[in-house]
Structure 1
Amino acid sequence: MKELLKKLRKYEIQIRKAINSQMQGDFHSIFKGSGLEFDDVRTYQYGDDIRTIDWNVSAKGHGTFVKTFKEEKEQTIFFILDVSGSQEIGDTGKQKVDIGKEICGVLALSAAKEGSQVGMVCYSDQKERYVKPAKGPKHAYEIIHNIVNLKPQSAKTDLSKAILFTLNTLKRRSVMIFISDFIDEGYFHNLKGMARKHDVVAIRITDKRETGLPKLGIVPVFDKESKKTVWVNTSFGNFRSQVKKNYEENEKELTLFAKRHQINFVSIDTNEDYVPKLLKLFKVRNKSLKSV
């Protein structure tokens, strides 16, 4: 636990230093949210988020107007962390679930130091752990303690249920940081609903083992969610290419969905340094939300 905290603090400091130097004081919050408190209206400008258009004012015939907002003093950052069996892929200590926990810990520390309320739910196909949003570094460390010591009761995945739990729990508009491999079906409808009500950031965790299957002939494959072993012929026909194709199609579908519904999306592999990608994500968010 001490080693993990040391690592998370180092990453958190690294992120803050990079933000301060790259943004040159223009970036007052790495979690800058959109539309948390109505302020005024102004004329629509190219590039504005269409979700901010005030249709009642625009209908008066004097042009198109958008709502402008100011951030509330107590912004809520809420993490949805997928802890299902499909996350247990990767090298020891660098499985998808490990990287997801690290990212959640780093961002929780950053959010707490900014004065935001921070909360979290760990989900499989059921609620595994819930931490109510609260303020302060001590609360961030409580979140880290919870995710480090968590032993999920179920290995199955149900992202729709995770989203519904969050929607029913948080009524006030918040920044939702969803960390998962997003390997599931039928959750787009609920995710769309979440994106309408909240500011959503989707962080997809991947591992090369999921697409880079070697030719090993007939091998046993253990499904951690169903707890069953099946035998597959990795050398037969186009088995490996089909697996890769399905994976790439799933990624493309998720990327397009995120873009369509104004969801900030980033994909991170277990064997890469995730800090640069997080920095790029924050930079994009700041640029796109600056006019809001």
Structure 2
Amino acid sequence: MQSSPLQPASSGRSDRLDPGVAKRIQQVHLRTHRLMNTALAGSYRSTFRGTGIEFEEVRPYIPGDDVRSIDWNVTARTGEPFVKLFREERELTVNLIVDTAITLDFGTQRWSKLEGAAQLTALITMVALHNQDRVGLTLFGSEPGLHLQPSKGMHHTQRLIRSVMMAPVAHGRSDYSAVLQAAERTLHRRSLLFFISDFHAAAHDSEWVEILARLERRHDVIAVRVVDPLEEALPEVGRLRLGALDGPGQLEVDTSSAAVRDAWEQEAQERRRVIQAGLARARVSHFDLDLGGDLADPLVAFFRRREMSRGGA
């Protein structure tokens, strides 16, 4: 069998923004604009609520008003019945925690896993901005990295995309516990929290599930597993060279061997089982971002499932 070279999709990242990287960032930005639509924004709005309700005004009582809304102080002062009106405090704070470990600098599709995470970051940010919500970003690898405070605006969106795609590769194993503990200390206001990773280090960190569970009790936490199709199953194409899935260097496998393909799939299934079991213990909602398909579809499907589970309320 001839060797079939299959290299990771290079993100082209470096310490400075060369024309190739600038073009990739622009592609992500333009593609996200095409993926974003009013239906997705509306689904987001109906799925995720604000932090509560706030008083708006009082007005004269109208027959049929709920008597429980009568403002007795104003009624006593004026001698006429008045009711309190409230409105939903709609604005959400959205925080994105994105893994930049070396395992995400891998891809056999059009995008690397990190570029897929950048597109998801952009899509969530644009949907949130469409609904006047603020978005913040934290990058991490072997330790917490760049942190951008929640903000609004297209310039902020572009900065988020660029920050993810230009993030330096973290060569150590991702430390979920450290970044989640940092979020626990710093996120005081209830927020919608997206935790985006390939979760390759999940089996090596014994504390992240407990910390994530504590965060879920205070915030609305959603975990997103970024996955390349080749990580789940090997194609039968003979000898295959590819970047190692769990670090630097290269890996060569003989995909013509059924035993090799079966072992690969069994390892993928065990990795997935560990991740899903941890997220279930933490009671955290989650979905997969499969780079083999349209990157907007998993987010749309998740919003719809959430909306249906809450009765569309």
Q: TM-score range by the shorter chain?
A: 0.7 to 0.9
Shift of 1:19: 6.0
**Structure 2: which amino acid aligns with 1:158?**
D
What is the alpha-carbon distance in structure 1 between the residues aligned to residue 32 and residue 301 of structure 2? 18
**Structure 2: which amino acid aligns with 1:151?**
P
What secondary structure sits across from 1:143 in the alignment? helix
Specify which of 163, 171, 175 is matched with residue 158 of structure 1. Answer: 175
Is the Cα contact below 8 Å between 2:96 and 2:193 reproduced in 1?
A: yes
Shift of 1:239: 4.4
Residue in 2 that maps onto 1:178: 195
State the percentage of identical aligned residues.
21
Does residue 299 of structure 2 align to residue 278 of structure 1?
A: yes
Does residue 32 of structure 2 align to residue 8 of structure 1?
A: yes
What is the alpha-carbon distance in structure 2 between the residues aligned to residue 148 and residue 103 of structure 1? 12
Specify which of 99, 102, 108 is matched with residue 85 of structure 1. Answer: 102
Is the Cα contact below 8 Å between 1:155 and 1:225 reproduced in 2?
A: no
Larger radius of gyration: 2
Residue in 2 that maps onto 1:203: 224
What is the alpha-carbon distance in structure 2 between the residues aligned to residue 211 and residue 224 of structure 1? 11
What is the alpha-carbon distance in structure 2 between the residues aligned to residue 260 and residue 72 of structure 1? 31
Residue in 2 that maps onto 1:49: none
Specify which of 14, 17, 23 is matched with residue 39 of structure 2. Answer: 17
Shift of 1:229: 5.9
Specify which of 29, 36, 50 is matched with residue 45 of structure 2. Answer: 29
Is the Cα contact below 8 Å between 2:114 and 2:164 reproduced in 1?
A: no
Is the Cα contact below 8 Å between 1:126 and 1:158 reproduced in 2?
A: yes
Specify which of 106, 113, 124 is matched with residue 96 of structure 1. Answer: 113
Q: What residue ranges of structure 2 are gaps of 5+ in the alignment?
A: 1-24, 55-86
Deviates more, 1:177-186 or 1:227-236: 227-236
Deviates more, 1:231-240 or 1:132-141: 231-240
Specify which of 150, 159, 165 is matched with residue 148 of structure 1. Answer: 165
Is the Cα contact below 8 Å between 2:198 and 2:227 reproduced in 1?
A: yes
Is the Cα contact below 8 Å between 2:105 and 2:169 reproduced in 1?
A: no
Cα distance, 1:221–1:189 mapped onto 2, change above 3 Å: farther
Is the Cα contact below 8 Å between 1:31 and 1:111 reproduced in 2?
A: no
Q: 1:232-243 counterparts in 2 under 5 A?
A: 238-243=259-264
Is the Cα contact below 8 Å between 2:233 and 2:264 reproduced in 1?
A: no
What is the alpha-carbon distance in structure 2 between the residues aligned to residue 261 and residue 124 of structure 1? 21
**Structure 1: which amino acid aligns with 2:52?**
E
TM-score normalised per structure 2: 0.69
What is the alpha-carbon distance in structure 1 between the residues aligned to residue 186 and residue 282 of structure 2? 22
Note the aligned Cα RMSD (angstroms).
Answer: 3.2
Is the Cα contact below 8 Å between 1:76 and 1:133 reproduced in 2?
A: yes
What secondary structure sits across from 2:296 in the alignment? helix
Q: What residue ranges of structure 1 are gaps of 5+ in the alignment?
A: 21-26, 40-69
Residue in 1 that maps onto 2:149: 132
Shift of 1:285: 1.7
Shift of 1:265: 1.2
**Structure 1: which amino acid aligns with 2:219?**
H
Is the Cα contact below 8 Å between 2:279 and 2:285 reproduced in 1?
A: yes
What is the alpha-carbon distance in structure 1 between the residues aligned to residue 49 and residue 200 of structure 2? 27
What is the alpha-carbon distance in structure 1 between the residues aligned to residue 182 and residue 192 of structure 2? 15
Is the Cα contact below 8 Å between 1:215 and 1:234 reproduced in 2?
A: yes
What is the alpha-carbon distance in structure 2 between the residues aligned to residue 289 and residue 71 of structure 1? 17
Is the Cα contact below 8 Å between 1:77 and 1:117 reproduced in 2?
A: yes
Residue in 1 that maps onto 2:12: none
Shift of 1:73: 3.5
Residue in 1 that maps onto 2:57: none
What is the alpha-carbon distance in structure 2 between the residues aligned to residue 193 and residue 236 of structure 1? 45
C-alpha distance after superposition, 1:125-146 (max 9, x if no partner): 1223211112333322221232
Does residue 186 of structure 2 align to residue 169 of structure 1?
A: yes
| Equivalent pairs, count | 253
Q: 1:53-72 counterparts in 2 under 5 A?
A: 72=89
TM-score normalised per structure 1: 0.73
**Structure 1: which amino acid aligns with 2:99?**
D
C-alpha distance after superposition, 1:95-120 (max 9, x if no partner): 11111110111111111221111101
What secondary structure sits across from 2:234 in the alignment? coil
Deviates more, 1:178-187 or 1:78-87: 178-187
Is the Cα contact below 8 Å between 1:84 and 1:124 reproduced in 2?
A: yes
Is the Cα contact below 8 Å between 1:126 and 1:154 reproduced in 2?
A: no
